[in-house]
A and B are shown apart, each in its own frame.
Chain A
Amino acid sequence: GAVVSQHPSRVICKSGTSVKIECRSLDFQATTMFWYRQFPKQSLMLMATSNEGSKATYEQGVEKDKFLINHASLTLSTLTVTSAHPEDSSFYICSARPLHLRETQYFGPGTRLLVL
């Protein structure tokens, strides 16, 4: 099946620093990638939709200046958590939608962020 990778898988940082998370589709091209956040024992919450070559679309309540998204190519999207605070600690998951399968999204393994 289609493979999506995320890097890093786990990151610990100090409050006030910025953290970049990469999402790559390894064996397919994706014009659209999605960024989710999951809190403990809760469902996945869509943060933003990332389209290659254009600005990301953010969901209501998600600060675009806080969570910077760049979709530079058909296989790479990045999420940068700027000036991270402890409340940003969470599990961040990306997904990618193949060009030829408009309904299906393949998910990355997730990135655990801990802000001290």
Chain B
Amino acid sequence: DQQVKQNSPSLSVQEGRISILNCDYTNSMFDYFLWYKKYPAEGPTFLISISSIKDKNEDGRFTVFLNKSAKHLSLHIVPSQPGDSAVYFCAAIQGAQKLVFGQGTRLTINP
């Protein structure tokens, strides 16, 4: 049972444009969501998070939007840079318990 889904395995965006990564979840009890960035053969790096009581959180070039009614969240990166090329995982957590990860989306930023 995949409770957190990232339906796009890959995404290609031109440098300078906006990258939008999407994530859907099924468990309405999730109360905290996180985005991680991962390079090959490295551990994930925390990017940004959002509590379920909010609908938007912004940190520099990264903004996460949460639509609770649709059980959907998205990560916006603007402007996209070549160094943003990596695999992005969304994750959800319920009551400070374990993280549940999506399958990841490979983002490629083209110069």
Please list the residues of chain A having a beta carbon within 8 angstroms of any beta carbon in chain B.
Answer: 1, 4, 6, 34, 42-44, 46, 49, 91, 93-95, 97, 102-110, 112
Contacts and interface: CB of A to CB of B under 8 A. Distances in A.
Contacts of A49: 98
Given A106-B46, A107-B36, A43 B101 contact: yes
Given A103-B34, A103-B51, A110-B41, 19 more contacts: A4-B43, A43-B89, A43-B103, A43-B104, A44-B44, A94-B43, A95-B43, A95-B99, A103-B49, A104-B49, A105-B34, A105-B46, A107-B36, A107-B43, A107-B45, A107-B46, A110-B42, A110-B43, A112-B41
28 contacts: A6-B43, A34-B99, A43-B101, A43-B102, A43-B103, A43-B104, A44-B44, A44-B89, A44-B101, A46-B98, A46-B99, A49-B98, A95-B43, A95-B99, A97-B96, A102-B96, A103-B93, A103-B96, A104-B34, A104-B49, A105-B99, A106-B46, A107-B36, A107-B43, A107-B44, A108-B43, A109-B43, A110-B41
Q: Is the interface of B mostly helix, strand, loop or mixed?
A: strand
Contacts of B44: 44, 93, 107
B32 interface: yes
